[in-house]
Structure 1
């Protein structure tokens, strides 16, 4: 195989992957309508219930990626899009299937988000690309964690002082679980800017 043939093969594979990643749908709630998105040559086409629209890639002004776990799905991600008029769209990596099941769509979501970034870049987009939570929310979460940590340290010291070893072990276990879950949320959602060629891997499934 010549170098030209190899390059053509890679290009065809990239186009095929982009075509497969060019559509995405999810249900944000059990009783709500499905939200459908399609990446076309003209831009991002969206359909939410009776409403629909087309956003040319160059008019998308902001993309924010974040990690948003919920009680029924610990691996849940979100993309918030805003166009130049201030209109907003929200895309989730999970979909409601039954009353008790919120299913992940990791591969489909990741492929769609990466393809969206690629098409925006190729369209010459100057969108603001943001990762994580807003700085004020992130700082508030850090303060809350610090307060909880201080309270748990006081409870642990009291348990040790009174010889309540079972209580001390419970507090240590709870602290470990809290730190693992909340710490991961805070770490992934640290505020940052990113580029089209360096989409944060920790904000994608």
Structure 2
């Protein structure tokens, strides 16, 4: 279930493949970047989408319980339903395996091929980063209100001399702000050029 470049006989072109299993009971979702189209299959369903038929892309950071560093690309087109591509694959009820390098290679190559297919600006898809703006700002508001409430709890605990309780809430608040801050920092709504997918929304390159 990895992205790979398979050299085609008699051609200098390669086919980049990527596959993942979104849940334990669901079929494998697989993709292949053909010379002129994105080929996909999921269970009994399959098809091809020409690169110039892709109308919208969205990249985001989507941590999960079993994988904190999880990323997602959503693909919309005029000929197929929305297709999510996730940087991890489910192995069991308690294991999700990261496919960061393979996902990064696939997403980068897909953007390159779309950019080449739509040479005119009018043919370029709408490329969005982060969350849908209303959802993002509602989430930021919830983060701020919850943080203020916990800060008030810490103050009241200190005033009452409940040091252990104050320390516990402070530790929880620090973790909450660290995780929430990272989520909203990476998922800030924005637009990007199809030829330059945002590096912050791709898995980091592993140090060799």
Pair in the same fold by TM > 0.5: yes
1:126-205 to 2 correspondences below 5 Å: 126-205=124-203
**Stretch deviating more after TM superposition (108-117 or 164-173):** 164-173
Aligned length: 189
Please give the per-residue CA displacement for 1:148-177, whole angstroms capped at 9, x wherever unaligned: 012112101101111111111111111111
Please give the per-residue CA displacement for 1:92-128, whole angstroms capped at 9, x wherever unaligned: 1100112221100000000000000000000014100
Q: What RMSD over aligned residues (CA atoms) do the two structures have, in Å?
A: 1.6
The verdict on how the C-alpha distance between 1:42 and 1:197 changes in structure 2, with shifts beyond 3 A counting, is closer
* 1:19 corresponds to 2:14: yes
More helix by share: 1
Residue of structure 2 equivalent to 1:106? 100
- Where structure 1 has 5 or more consecutive residues not aligned to the other structure, the ranges are 1-14
Instruction: Write out the 4+ residue segments of structure 1 that deviate beyond 3 Å after TM superposition.
Output: none
CA–CA distance in structure 2, aligned partners of residues 135 and 94 of structure 1 = 25
**Stretch deviating more after TM superposition (62-71 or 94-103):** 94-103
What is the deviation of 1:60?
A: 0.2
CA–CA distance in structure 2, aligned partners of residues 202 and 118 of structure 1 = 17
Out of 89, 93, 111, the residue aligned to residue 95 of structure 1 is 89
TM-score (norm: length of structure 2): 0.87
Out of 50, 74, 85, the residue aligned to residue 56 of structure 1 is 50
